Chains A and B, each alone.
Chain A
Amino acid sequence: MRERVALVTGAAGGIGGAMVRELAGRGWTTAALDLRPAPDAAYSVGVDVADPVQVTAVVRRIEREMGPIEAALCAAGHYALVPVSDIAWEDWIRMLRVHLGGLVNVCRAVTPGMAERGHGAVIGVASDLALAGGDAEAHYAAAKGAVIGLVRSLAAELAPAGVRVNAVAPGPTDTPLLPPDSPWRRPAFVQALPTGRLATAEEIALAAAYLVEDGTFCAGEVLSPNAGAVI
């Protein structure tokens, strides 16, 4: 039997990489889209997810060579701590194009096939900052909030066709996205979290894997492993 194919964007990053390893451990063949190589994936291709042409082309190639994509997990993203007065227009656009655009581009490429086959799972990666906002994180939070709006709307639109769209909304997570001097790594912040520790990429991947495999009645759900930062 051919293994099921999962597409993971941002697969060279902390959370995307953990998703690749979690799904591979569950018997999925993983195809990685990232600007950088993703060493743990079965297939890794350099793509800017903000570019719809690149995404469509590579999805077609993957489906031709590996088989239909049954799960798409969209973890590609970047982060910046900037006061709203200092957010340049180009940076605002880039934030939206990568986070929201990356999800839109992947969904436009993979969901028609999923709907035709009558099943499939898409996971958007939002953030607890989309639920609660954050100081000097306006463009990141806005992009992640838009991800949630898209996920819930797509979920309502595609569920009748058997395609389940859900999201994880990680809280402060111990990945390279958080630089060593990040305020989210300060002992005072971490100790004030109900769990007293940052989330791990593996936990976010477990939550995503649940939504892909076992969450058969979840659609439009936003699951937030966030160390108790946002309850």
Chain B
Amino acid sequence: MALALITGAGGGLGAAVARRLASCGHLVALNDRPDRPVGELAAELDGIAAPADVSDPGAVREMVEHVERRTGDHIGILVANAAYSTLSPFAEHDLDDWWRIVDVNLGGTFACAQAVMPGMVERGGGRMVLVSSEWGVTGRPDATAHSASKAGIIALAKSLGRELAPLGIAVNAIAPSLIDTRRLEVDAAAAGVTGEEVRARYAARVPLGRIAVPEEIAAAIAFLADDRLPALVGQILHVNGGTTRTRA
């Protein structure tokens, strides 16, 4: 059993991943931004809260040091899930916001991977699961920053997969399609439609006829975090209900 750091654990997917990894017997460290507290979930799962803005590399390093000091262990599993996203037509997208998306999603993943690496090397190996997105594979109108950042995560997983495998660290990525979380309701409300309409619109183009629930994406992440699979490196697991034309 390992110490697992899950970033973005305050969101629907992050929380499901935390529950799943805790149920596998891992000790979970839950990260989210300081203004999105995760203490309650951490207490429920006998884990620890590890607040930090992942786009601040100094804060990430301190957070990792804190977690490793608190637990007396090195992080063996990283689930880099923290993300920030807004939708906007490309020409109108505020440039600062555009970069904020890239810096949180791609930069935050980089910062977390770099911060946990030395500990993983010291403990003789580890596993990193980088959370990309179907949009990182296919692209999407009005989501250029999100798509670029998530495509960057795929290339990062492939490069880190090659670079870190000799050190016993297996890096892979997951590319889920739309997930049924609270965020979906929030985005739907912002767009002036109901959550049900959003679900139906997406489900209509998915061969399995529905959108994903967080638990099955969490199961896929737990699979990629399984240390019995050292031969699985640099791969992208598409969990998209069978939209088979949407892959790298």
Q: Is the interface of A mostly helix, strand, loop or mixed?
A: loop
In the complex, the answer to whether A227 meets B209 with C-beta atoms within 8 Å is no
A15 to chain B, nearest CB (A): 12
- For A79, the chain B residues whose CB sits under 8 A away are none
Contact A196-B241, Cβ < 8 Å, known A159-B208, A219-B208: no
In the complex, the answer to whether B235 meets A224 with C-beta atoms within 8 Å is yes
Q: Is A94 an interface residue (CB 8 A)?
A: no
- Give A162 to B242 CA distance when docked, in angstroms: 11
In the complex, the answer to whether A196 meets B166 with C-beta atoms within 8 Å is yes
In the complex, the answer to whether B233 meets A194 with C-beta atoms within 8 Å is yes
In the complex, the answer to whether A203 meets B230 with C-beta atoms within 8 Å is yes
In the complex, the answer to whether B234 meets A207 with C-beta atoms within 8 Å is no
Q: Please, which residue of chain B has its CB at the minimum distance from the CB of A193?
A: B165
Q: Is A210 an interface residue (CB 8 A)?
A: yes
- For B158, the chain A residues whose CB sits under 8 A away are 231
In the complex, the answer to whether A227 meets B241 with C-beta atoms within 8 Å is no
Q: Is A214 an interface residue (CB 8 A)?
A: yes
Among A173, A199, A220, the residue within 8 A (CB) of B242 is A220
In the complex, the answer to whether A228 meets B223 with C-beta atoms within 8 Å is no
Question: Residues 159-203 of chain A: 1 if any B CB is under 8 Å from the residue's CB, otherwise 0?
Answer: 110101000000101000000000000000000011111111011
A221 to chain B, nearest CB (A): 5
- Give A200 to B223 CA distance when docked, in angstroms: 17
In the complex, the answer to whether A215 meets B230 with C-beta atoms within 8 Å is no
Q: Is A54 an interface residue (CB 8 A)?
A: no
Enumerate B58-110 residues with CB–CB distance to A below 8 Å.
none
Q: Which 10 interchain pairs have the tightest Cβ spacing?
A: A219-B242, A159-B207, A231-B234, A199-B231, A194-B165, A220-B244, A159-B242, A152-B244, A214-B219, A225-B232
Among B161, B217, B219, the residue within 8 A (CB) of A228 is B161
A175 to chain B, nearest CB (A): 13
Q: List 18 A-B contacts (CB under 8 A).
A: A155-B242, A156-B242, A159-B207, A164-B208, A194-B234, A195-B166, A202-B228, A203-B229, A210-B220, A217-B212, A217-B213, A217-B216, A217-B217, A217-B220, A220-B244, A223-B232, A228-B162, A231-B161
In the complex, the answer to whether A159 meets B219 with C-beta atoms within 8 Å is no
In the complex, the answer to whether A226 meets B231 with C-beta atoms within 8 Å is yes
Q: Is B237 an interface residue (CB 8 A)?
A: yes
- For A218, the chain B residues whose CB sits under 8 A away are 220, 237-239
- For A173, the chain B residues whose CB sits under 8 A away are 231
Q: Is B144 an interface residue (CB 8 A)?
A: no
- Give A210 to B229 CA distance when docked, in angstroms: 12
In the complex, the answer to whether A228 meets B216 with C-beta atoms within 8 Å is no
- For B217, the chain A residues whose CB sits under 8 A away are 217
- For A203, the chain B residues whose CB sits under 8 A away are 228-232
- For B219, the chain A residues whose CB sits under 8 A away are 214-216
Q: Is A109 an interface residue (CB 8 A)?
A: no
- Give A216 to B161 CA distance when docked, in angstroms: 26
Q: Please, which residue of chain A has its CB at the minimum distance from the CB of B242?
A: A219
- For A210, the chain B residues whose CB sits under 8 A away are 220, 223
B183 to chain A, nearest CB (A): 17
Q: Is B185 an interface residue (CB 8 A)?
A: no
Enumerate A132-173 residues with CB–CB distance to B below 8 Å.
152-153, 155-156, 159-160, 162, 164, 171, 173
Contact A217-B231, Cβ < 8 Å, known A159-B207, A159-B208, A228-B165: no
Q: Is B133 an interface residue (CB 8 A)?
A: no
Q: Please, which residue of chain B has its CB at the minimum distance from the CB of A151?
A: B244
Contact A195-B242, Cβ < 8 Å, known A217-B217, A218-B220: no
A161 to chain B, nearest CB (A): 10
Q: Is A206 an interface residue (CB 8 A)?
A: yes
- Give A164 to B208 CA distance when docked, in angstroms: 8
- For B228, the chain A residues whose CB sits under 8 A away are 202-203, 206
In the complex, the answer to whether A231 meets B230 with C-beta atoms within 8 Å is no
Enumerate B204-225 residues with CB–CB distance to A below 8 Å.
206-209, 212-213, 216-217, 219-220, 222-223
Q: Is B55 an interface residue (CB 8 A)?
A: no
Question: Residues 89-101 of chain A: 1 if any B CB is under 8 Å from the residue's CB, otherwise 0?
Answer: 0000000000000
- For A155, the chain B residues whose CB sits under 8 A away are 207, 242, 244
In the complex, the answer to whether A195 meets B233 with C-beta atoms within 8 Å is yes
- Give A62 to B99 CA distance when docked, in angstroms: 59
Known: A155-B207, A207-B232, A219-B207. 17 other contacts (CB 8 A): A155-B242, A156-B207, A156-B244, A159-B206, A193-B165, A207-B229, A215-B220, A215-B239, A217-B176, A217-B208, A218-B238, A220-B207, A223-B235, A224-B232, A225-B231, A228-B161, A231-B234
